[in-house]
Structure 1
Amino acid sequence: MFVLTELGKRLVEAREEKGMSLDDLMAATKIQKRYLLAIEQGNYDIIPGKFYVRAFIKQYAEAVGLNPEQLFEEFRKDVPSTYNDEVSDKLSNIKPQRELPKPASKVLELLPTILIIGGIIVVIAIIYVIVQAVNHDSGQKNNQAAPQQSESKYEVSEDSSLAKDQKKKEKASSDDKKKII
């Protein structure tokens, strides 16, 4: 087991003041617990690469509320230096996720509901158009059949009383004409 270095002691004290466990710190920084322990113990050999050591220390310090640049300056002899500090700066600029991701906008939340309602409206419109077309077609068939029925209503058969009355009138008018002549 390793003895805590001065830098490790400082980081542990800051973490404990914040009331954070290593698991809490791991969730906040997304750094594996074994690497966090290695930083606290000064066992940088298990961390893959010097720039990761600096980046992990920087993220650890930011998560517990310490100024990482001040720590690097103060513990220069404990922290391994790298030839490419830019890489560690870029890597450590990743902010720890402390808050839950924001929910999608209201439109995106309501989109499934809007699509379902729109689909229902389209189905109702299609049914309405089909019913109207069927009613229109049957209405035309009824109109074509109606004139045939109306013609038959006014047809007079030879045996009907109307026909007999008509014949009597015609005979009487022809008799009147004969008398006049």
Structure 2
Amino acid sequence: MEWLRKKKNNQQVALALEQQRAEKLAIMGAQLLALRQEQGLSLEQVVMLTKIPRRLLQAIEEGNFNDLPEPVYIQGLLRQFADALGINGTKFASTFPISSQQANPKFTGKTPRLGQLRPIHLYFLYIFLIVCTVNGLSQLLNNATLQVSNSQNSPDSEKEYVVKPEAAQAQESLKVKPVSDNLNSLKETQAVQIGVTLKASSWIRVIADGKTEFEGTLPEGTHRTWKAQEQLTVKTDNAGGVLMSVNQEKAKEMGEPGKMEEIQIAAKPKF
């Protein structure tokens, strides 16, 4: 009867852990809801920032534990949600309880059988296989297109394309505003600096040399500066509420009030 007693104890522990997760989710969801409303963001705007489906974000805010996936995935959703609201998502999500086995999986040397996987695991496995297949086909098509295109170009243009194809495509697809001369120069450059002053509370994202330095909502009157060695990208959902200066020059509005705008500033070349 010892095994029966252990089984009963394990069931009680599992139920207690589930109850603890549900209670913690309700508290954290209420905190995220209050923070989102305080910043004046709609749930649709958070969906755009996090790429998380609206039903999952709503389930988090309402504390609907049964409408969400495995606890380890819930912790990841909480981290992304908190990051989008401008707080430390990693620290915030770490307070959500997950089992020690999920948090620190140990390798046993045995290959898990497919029958041991839960339906949610199979769902993510299928999605992963589909994405890999699509990416592989896309890569094959791109390579075939490049071979045909390269055979029609001169040797000089072929060399230029092979050296940096991704940069050329990015320059064609992105809308870049001419804030200084010679932005695309390949000469040696010096660091670039921007300063922003908030005329009205606005969401803003700053990327320096490919790394996100800040993303969140800044209140009216805030002044912040950022530097980069190669390029700075600034995006906001209220262009008329953000004054931006480049390399300590006179500050100008990024655009029209209430409109989303993105500006890229490249470092000036050294002559």
Structure having the higher Rg: 1
Using the size of structure 1 for normalisation, the TM-score is 0.41
Greater fraction of residues in helix: 1
Give the structure, 1 or 2, with the largest relative contact order (CA under 8 Å, sep 6 or more): 1
Using the size of structure 2 for normalisation, the TM-score is 0.28
